[in-house]
Amino acid sequence: MIKTARARHSGQGLRFAIRTGSGHEFVVDDVAGDTGPRPAELLLAAQAACTAFDVASILAKKRQEVVSYEVIVTGEQRDAPHPHVFERIDVLHELWAREIDTTAVRRSIELSATRYCTATAMLSAGPAEIHHRYAIHRVGAATEGGEVVVTGPHTDPDALVVEDPQLARA
């Protein structure tokens, strides 16, 4: 499967119009022009979207009802030397639900992190260590959360660190 993207310089600073193979357009820029996101921010956005799609889909298949769901991705880049690669990325899945099975949430995140998410696989193959965590907010109850799995750096699927032994057997 081949994917494409084209970057066309707008003639202003480092502003580029990007057109994807699926026909969508957006602008990227540097800090001086500040008319669009930076390329490194798009890597984090891809990570957020990719894992969000996976987890939402898996939870729906498991018939878990979620009132609201957000994925917050924070990355720490190396200052020097170039390239400024991500060394650590934190992925937090925040879910709001009346009733939800914690094991189903954890397993959905684990499957995304270790099997389905293209962005995680790509970023984990480099120097980035990715921490996959969750927080479940229930009405009238304390927030529950924890770390599910750490992927990268240079991790192969057989060497993943799984925090919960129940998940390793599920």
Q: Are residues 25 and 93 both part of a single domain? A: no
Average pLDDT over residues 91-101: 97
Helices (H) and strands (E) in the chain, counts: 4, 8
pLDDT tier at 149, thresholds 50, 70, 90? very high
The whole model's pTM is what? 0.88
Number of domains in the chain: 2
pLDDT band at 140 (very low <50, low <70, confident <90, very high): confident
Parent domain of 30: 1-37
CATH of residue 142's domain is 3.30.300.20
8 A C-beta contact, residue 124 and residue 155 = yes
Residue 163 predicted with pLDDT over 90: no
CB neighbours of residue 167 within 10 Å = 17
Nearest one of 137, 164, 160 to 148, comparing CA atoms: 164
Give pLDDT, residue 164. 57
Interatomic CA distance for residues 43 and 38, integer angstroms: 9
- Mean pLDDT for 108-120 is 97
pLDDT score for 114: 96
Q: Would you place residue 165 in the very low, low, confident or very high pLDDT band (cuts 50, 70, 90)?
A: low
Instruction: Verify that 50 and 2 share a domain, yes or no.
Output: no
What is the end-to-end Cα distance of the chain in Å, rounded? Answer: 31
Burial class (CB in 10 A: 0-12, 13-18, 19+), 161: exposed
